[in-house]
Amino acid sequence: MPDPDVPVALADTYQGIGRLGVAFSGGVDSSVVLAAAQRTLGPDRVIAILGVSPSLPAAERTGAHTVAGHIGVPVVEVQTYEGEQAAYQANGPDRCFHCKDELFTRIDDEIVQAHRLDAVAYGENADDARRPDRPGSRAAAEHRVLRPLAEAGLGKKAVRELARAWRLPSADKPAAPCLASRIPHFQEVTPQKLAQVEQAEAALRALGLEDLRVRHHGEIARLELTPADLLRSATSPLREQVRDAVRQAGFRWVTLDLGGLQSGEFTLRVLNRD
């Protein structure tokens, strides 16, 4: 019998599926897709699929396993190699397409048959489906990946409410785009740059800063912080600690962006210019 806590429109998107794989990051959207599948289909008919590459921070990998364990669904990791593709390295506004295309191709080739999956789903919500800076959704469409949240008309607010109602560990987790999103478009994505960003962001979180981005501009690190953390980070002694932590990641200069957090900023800037 379907779980009454799953909205009917969402539960309906799982009808007719025997076994489902969910492309899973541990973020709130994919967590709700996974939890709804577990509640609708049962834990024995669902797996979480985690793509692993240098663009995935180690903390995010660990966190994804924690969330999936809480939901009660096993995690299957798949190694992806988008970083070896010239189109991905070139870092155009379609970079996410090449990343998602690589992930879904690996899932098709290595996971679907091995785990007898009837379908694969991922966590695009209804709000993201309307945004112009989501080339990854084109890859999902080409691979016939399901979008339960978008199809059910659930936007960010509704997804958060479900995650809180189900007490998911990721319910209030800030958005965590891949590390490559910190590099301006048309500047090459390299493992070294990704490692610098990961080290700097981990060090800042260790200092008590939470929702943040370290944008990579060569020798310059541009920090996007919440208003409260922006004010704290401009004041001693935290100012010196922030500077030193980011410099240890290999940056020469550290700047604070007065505009704060700007989701999808690099892609939106290119699209608006065009």
Verify whether residue 99 is a known catalytic residue: no
Check 28, 140, 178, 256 and give the catalytic one: 178
Q: CA 199 → CA 106, 139, 244, distances in Å?
A: 28, 30, 12
How far apart CA 20 and CA 200 sit, in angstroms, is 36
How far apart CA 228 and CA 55 sit, in angstroms, is 28
Which of 151, 96, 142, 102 has the alpha carbon at shortest distance from 123? 151
Which of 52, 23, 54, 19 has the alpha carbon at shortest distance from 38? 19
How far apart CA 248 and CA 269 sit, in angstroms, is 29
Which of 118, 113, 111 has the alpha carbon at shortest distance from 16? 118
Q: Which residues contact 219 (CB under 8 A, 6 or more apart)?
A: 251, 252, 253
* Residues recognised as catalytic: 178
